[in-house]
Amino acid sequence: LNKIERQFPTTDRVIPDKPSTSREFTVSFTPKKLFLPALIVIGAVIIMLAAWKFTPLPEIFKKSPTPLPERQVEDAMSAASQFWKDKEYSKAYNQYKKVLELEPGHFEAQFGLANTLKAQEKFDEAIPEYEKAIALDDADPRSYGQLGLIYEQKQEPDKALQYYKKYLEIAPQGQEFNVVAQKVKYLEEKIQAAAEKPKVATEPSAPKQSKPKEPEVQPGEKAPPKPEPAEPEKKKPDVSGNLDRGIQAFNREDYDKCIKQMEEVLKVEPDNSSAQFFMAEAKKRISDRIKEQEISSKLKAAQEAFRKGDYQECIQQSEEVLKLAPGNASAQTLLTEAKKKVEEQRIEQQVNDGLRRAQDAFQNRKYKECIGQANKVLELDADNAEARRLLSRARINYAQQQALALVEQYVQAVNTKNLVAFYERACSPQLFNSMKKRTELSMRIFESFQSTASDTGLQFKGTNQAEISFSHIIKGTTKDGVQQDVFEGTILWEITRQGETWKITKIIPTPRGKK
């Protein structure tokens, strides 16, 4: 902007007396002269927009957050599903309606809405809603199956057959497929029988045959016996009514009534395939229903046991559910969670038992045992504060015991001339190798040793570093029987922790005088 401004004169201009003409005005305001003001205006607009964007608004102007449509759809679908389970069909209808207002192309909501109308026997209202569902997804067989049921209920077999056949074209094989296939067979037979009835009524009746003349009987002769009239053929009872009522009961899930009707059919027509099929299927559905009730009861028992904290009972009930329904997700989840809780309880019990044993060992000055128990607890619960505290204190006290024991072992090793073996066991490999020959030479010079140690002290230099110091006197007896002072002064050992044992890494003798 500074560069641009420098191109413009800074001297005052005198306004001419005469007004500017339109031509002069046009010439005066050329695009070149307008560039600077335009640039300034654009810059000001950009600054204002930035300030508006990043300056926090007062609370009064802030919009309250509203749920996203996706979340609203999920909530409404969940509510509709629960209302359906509770058989509150009007409420379920309202929830499905709400979903369709948010998302008009939601197939499951459209199908569910149609189902609520059918469940309330509002068949005429349900039909167009199923048709809308088909328009949304014509590859889903369920809408065709439901329309077949409605038209079957409305005693319109032709339309029921049409939708059932469409169902069979796209539905996968399974239990429902077999039921619909049997219905198609039954409806086809029913339609065919209905079409043949008028033909029977319009067939011309056969002409009456003249009654055969009885032979004349001569006087003195016996009349021949009259032939007994043939028994009229018994007409089979019509079972179509029972069959219809049985299938309608099956459609309403009234399986007991279905079985009774099919039994009546089979008394008359033992080979009736439709009656055989629907009776067997109704019995299976009753068995499935009992099984579902048992599953539901055991699942509720498992949930209640989990709520009360009786996880073993929850595991038992969940396993029984899974025997009846291996794929039951709720039972599988409960079983997994209950097993986790049992494992947590087991670990908690082991932790408590381990802490108790560690505390008892510490009080009885069994520091090594306390360390072992505390470590076991920390394997189960790495952040257990009490175990860490016990471990720290026990290690300090145990290190003091180890320091005293190590000094005692050293003194005994000197007196028994087993110092080389002691150093090999108690020192780091590097230290042992550096002093092995010198120690062996000392052991050969003297026939025997007498040594004492006192004023043993331990000072920690960190978690795994420490120093042991003690006053030490060694007297040696030569092979000639002469006793000599070998060492008198202070010994300092630098030690390092390796696991729960300590290794001497450096020895610093400080003699009181030249010995």
398-457 per-position pLDDT tens digit: 888 889 999 999 999 999 999 999 999 999 999 999 999 999 988 888 999 999 999 999
For residue 198, what pLDDT band results from cuts at 50, 70 and 90?
Answer: low
Does residue 61 have a pLDDT over 80?
no
Whether residue 93 contacts residue 110, with contact meaning beta carbons closer than 8 Å, is answered with no
pTM of this prediction?
0.54
204-247 confidence digits (pLDDT tens): 555 555 555 555 555 555 556 666 665 555 566 788 889 999 99
Torsion of CA 247, 249, 253, 255, to 10 degrees: -90
Q: Is 455 left (phi over 0), alpha (psi -120 to 50) or beta?
A: left
Does residue 25 have a pLDDT over 80?
no
252-266 confidence digits (pLDDT tens): 899 999 999 999 999
Query: What is the Rg, in whole angstroms, of the alpha carbon atoms belonging to the chain?
Result: 52
Does residue 116 have a pLDDT over 70?
yes
- Which helix (H) or strand (E) is 340 found in, with range? helix 329-363
For residue 59, what pLDDT band results from cuts at 50, 70 and 90?
Answer: very low
Q: What pLDDT score was predicted for residue 10?
A: 47
Q: What pLDDT score was predicted for residue 174?
A: 82
Name which CATH class applies to 402-511. alpha beta
Q: Residue 471 corresponds to which amino acid?
A: S
The crossing angle, in degrees rounded to 10, of helices 142-153 and 240-251 is: 130
Supply the mean pLDDT for the chain: 84
Q: What pLDDT score was predicted for residue 67?
A: 58
Strand partners, 474: 451, 487
In 237-319, which ranges are E strands?
A: none
Q: What pLDDT score was predicted for residue 461?
A: 87
Q: What pLDDT score was predicted for residue 220?
A: 58
Q: What pLDDT score was predicted for residue 201?
A: 47
